[in-house]
Chain A
Amino acid sequence: MLELRGIHWKTPENEEIVKGIDLVIPKGELTVITGPNGGGKTSLAKIIAGLYTPSEGQILLNREDITHWDITKRARGGIAYAFQQPVRFKGLSVRDLLELSAGETLEEARLCTMLSTVGLCAQEYMDRQVDASLSGGEGKRIEIATVLFRRDAQVLVFDEPEAGIDLWSFTNLIDAFESLKKEGGRTLVIISHQERIMEIADHIAVVADGTVRSFGKRDEILPSLLAGERCALCPIGDSGKEAC
């Protein structure tokens, strides 16, 4: 279980983005955090992964206080984080990055499994550099793979995994999330505006203006999001299918 207690966070310019968030993310389940852009969702994900240190509050992982753990310690403690904007490296290959993530040397068959899960062909991509030669969508899919297959990860945090990837890969991604759910044991936290991701969630939290506006089981939250309240809280478009 991941528990956030009274979390506040300010930018270096002293602007308060997260304004007292209390949230209990159930172990082994999929929780989607949604809400309008600029509402604090990404900041919250970064606080969980240790990229941002809260100015107030406490973070507990399986009842252990991890508030002051740095990024490395949290990663080793089982928290994995997929960036919204994939990071580029001059000189690291896709294979290098996936091996760092898996913590071992990977056979081609294993690389093939990992990359095909995100819709990429291992033969074509494993020796490619993770640099500007990759398109935004390719980089994003590799970023997601580094988290899907992280060794010993208990909590997997994805920041808008749907952004920048094509429909076919998105369908694969939904399948991958569902498989992880079926396997059980791992906690998934997904920042998303996508209805299809919300549809597979166990819980949904709506975060706006740095606070949790509502949190509950999917069937309690999703209908209200899709019915009218969405304009105030959530950037789901008029079609009810796509993000704004």
Chain B
Amino acid sequence: MKSITDSLLNQISDFKEGFQGAYNIREDGGCAGRQSTKNIRIESKEENPGINIHISGNTKNETVYIPACVTKSGVHDLVYNDFYVEEGADVIIIAGCGVHSDGGEEAAHNGIHRFFVGKNARVLYQEKHIGTGTGAGQRKIDPVTEITLDEGACMEIDTTQISGVTRSDRSTTAVLSKDAKLIIHERLLTDGSERANSDFSVTLEGEDSGVDLISRSVAKGNSYQEYRSLIRGNCRCSGHSECDAILVGGGIVNAAPALYAGHIDASLIHEAAIGKIAGEQITKLCTLGLTEEEAVRKIIEGFLKQ
């Protein structure tokens, strides 16, 4: 495994000399390491690049690591990963992605992840995206996530993209059955001339299903972000989306959240706020001895941590 991969893994998945339990490390489109466990079986796809991850119903509190790294310019990695989570399983999936480019050509990772989450299963999915390197080439990450939650299933997605990814196009779609719950926390920071698009579409098909979609973003420099979300409630269900963004310098955020209530008992709420950091917040932290730069950093750090 390359040292750049080692460094990227460290940043996206707290990699320290190795992973415990099940894992698959993807490096420049190839497999740099794989391990299955008694409950979590990982195997290569035959028809497409990528893997199938089978998580048995006996899995309780186990973690599986599925990181992907692109270490050089000129690599366009496309991967299809399917997660089959059996009824009653309880699993943590850590699936970060790091893209490094020191050259003039683009380095890109496009991960297409499908989740089939069985009845009453629980999934915590953590995904950290970073870009590193000094090359002029774009560092792109375009994740596509498709989720199907069976009755009573619960999935929590925690996705973070803090620095260095020059272009990203995120598309997340989900369909929820009866009593299923989906919680999504997106944290996004763009700077310089970076561009990031996030598109979420959640359909609540089953009675008493629910989604909580929270996006926190910071647009610095001359960066540009687009946020789209659509929650469709087709039955008695609940949906909440919250989109907050902070603008710093010349950053731009274009947010268009949408709700579709197709049933009298669909209860859908949206909250949104975009603006600069309030001057009094900076002033308060300065009265505690922080410089203006430190205060801004602290406020952004806290905002994205939430």
Contacts and interface: CB of A to CB of B under 8 A. Distances in A.
Contacts of B280: 83, 87
Interface residues of A, number: 25
Interface string B265-304: 0000000000000101101111111111000001101111
B303 A100 contact: no
Interface string B84-102: 0000000000000000000
B244 interface: yes
B48 interface: no
A90 B289 contact: no
Nearest to B295: A72
A91 B289 contact: no
Interface residues of B, number: 23
Interface stretch (A73-81, A189-197, A225-233): A73-81
Contact of B292 (A72, A90, A146): A72
B305 interface: yes
B298 A75 contact: no
A144 to B, nearest CB: 13
A59 interface: no
Nearest to B289: A75
Contacts of B287: 49, 51, 71, 75, 80-81, 83
B306 A129 contact: yes
A121 to B, nearest CB: 22
Interface in A139-196: 146, 150
A72 B304 CA distance: 24
A147 B298 CA distance: 19
A234 B266 CA distance: 57
Nearest to A152: B289
Contacts of B286: 70-72, 75
Contacts of A80: 287
A150 B302 contact: no
Contacts of A150: 288
B303 A51 contact: no
Contact of B298 (A70, A83, A100, A146): A100
A51 B283 contact: yes
Contacts of B291: 72
A192 B107 CA distance: 62
Contact of A100 (B216, B288, B292, B305): B288
Contacts of A92: 298-299, 302
Contacts of A97: 288
A101 interface: yes
Contacts of B216: 91
Contacts of B283: 51, 71, 87
Contacts of B285: 100
A103 B306 CA distance: 22
Interface in A16-53: 49, 51
Contact of A89 (B289, B299, B304): B299
- Interface core residue of B278, B283, B291 (most chain A CB under 10 Å): B283
A202 interface: no
A132 B287 CA distance: 21
A76 to B, nearest CB: 5
B280 to A, nearest CB: 5
B284 A91 contact: no
A100 B281 contact: no
Given A51-B283, A71-B283, A89 B302 contact: yes
A75 B288 contact: yes
Contacts of A51: 283, 287
B302 A96 contact: yes
A90 B303 contact: yes
Contacts of B304: 91
B197 to A, nearest CB: 24
Given A91-B299, A91-B303, 13 more contacts: A72-B286, A72-B292, A87-B280, A87-B284, A89-B299, A90-B244, A91-B301, A91-B302, A91-B305, A92-B302, A93-B302, A96-B302, A97-B288
16 contacts: A49-B287, A51-B287, A72-B289, A72-B292, A75-B287, A75-B288, A83-B280, A87-B278, A87-B280, A90-B244, A90-B306, A91-B303, A91-B306, A92-B298, A96-B302, A103-B289
